[in-house]
Amino acid sequence: MIRRLPFFLLAGVLGGWAVAGAGILPPSARRTTRQIRIDYVAHNGVLRAAYVLLPKWYSRGDPPLPLVISPHGRGVDARVNARLWGDLPGREGFAVVNPEGQGRRLELYSWGDAGQISDLARMPEIVEHALPWVHIDPHRIFAAGGSMGGQETLLLVARHPHLLAGAISFDAPTDLSMRYREFHGMPYGRQLQRLARYEVGGTPAADPSAWSRRSPLDFARAIARSRVPLEIWWSRDDRIIADQAQQSGRLYQQIMRLDPTAPVRQVVGWWHHCAEIRTHLRKALAFIGLG
């Protein structure tokens, strides 16, 4: 079974937040946030880890905490994803869960698999079961992710709208079939296409419905109807997802056509892939009511 790319190849195709934001806060400066590893059983019965970030001051008997579910980007380990939050959870008083994830076949390349989205929806329950002294505020559950993690955040909004009080996607692919075609012109593109076929179960031409089920663009109506406050960040200067106007930008336009009153806004800029997370994560959280 294909599980991970060799390190030399992985370094060339990282598609998530890690490249842009791994240095948000030096480890030595993290004085108010602690990290706890927990284990959970994924939808296919495989044991996976998740990394929970909590304020250091939080203990048994404290009020329930808001929780952010944070799926990682393509090829990015959950521990790397956890580091991107720096000291924000401790300073602002919320929890973050960073699951390793599990797709149909692959861990680091789940690409919006329905089982993975169901696992994300179970994260509040998983955290409370693994850490009985931690209480999650059921009315303040959020989701935020970049690249593939943004794609899965959008699918979580579409499939589990009553779970979330708000969500943020950063530089997310929203049309997975288009993304598959774009891989061809990228470094290690053939390997990425091979991984995508293995994970999804065939090419977009062979099974278009399987690719559609992983594409937030095909869930635009469900996202528009969800009434979940949503912020969509995308860049005109992205070299990983080169035509974001046809990905995140197109999703935003479709949502607005379906419901101009939907609580969704887009933020468009000229940053490199997911670099906005480094400087604007706190601002983005504030828009959805956290922080």
Residue numbers of the domain that contains 34? 7-287
Asked if residue 1 is part of any domain, the answer here is no
pLDDT in tens, 96-128: 999 999 999 999 999 999 999 999 999 999 999
pLDDT in tens, 160-192: 999 999 999 999 999 999 999 999 988 899 999
Asked if residue 21 is part of any domain, the answer here is yes
Q: Quote the pLDDT of residue 30.
A: 52
Q: Which residues pair with 52 in a beta bridge?
A: 36, 97
CATH number at residue 249: 3.40.50.1820
Q: What is the Cα 25 distance to its own chain's centre? A: 20
Residue ranges in the chain modelled with pLDDT below 70: 1-30
Asked if residue 24 is part of any domain, the answer here is yes
SS3 for 49? Answer: strand
Q: Quote the pLDDT of residue 16.
A: 44
Model pTM?
0.91
Mode of pairing for the β-strands spanning 47-55 and 136-146: unpaired
Question: How far does the chain reach from its first CA to its final CA, in angstroms?
Answer: 42
Asked if residue 2 is part of any domain, the answer here is no
Asked if residue 101 is part of any domain, the answer here is yes
Asked if residue 229 is part of any domain, the answer here is yes
Helix ranges (H only) for the chain are 7-13, 18-21, 78-83, 88-92, 114-121, 123-130, 148-159, 176-183, 189-200, 208-212, 220-226, 248-258, 276-287
Q: Quote the pLDDT of residue 278.
A: 84
Domain total in the chain: 1
Q: Quote the pLDDT of residue 29.
A: 53
SS3 for 104? Answer: coil
Asked if residue 155 is part of any domain, the answer here is yes
Asked if residue 173 is part of any domain, the answer here is yes
* Cα angle value 131/117/55 (rounded, 5°): 30
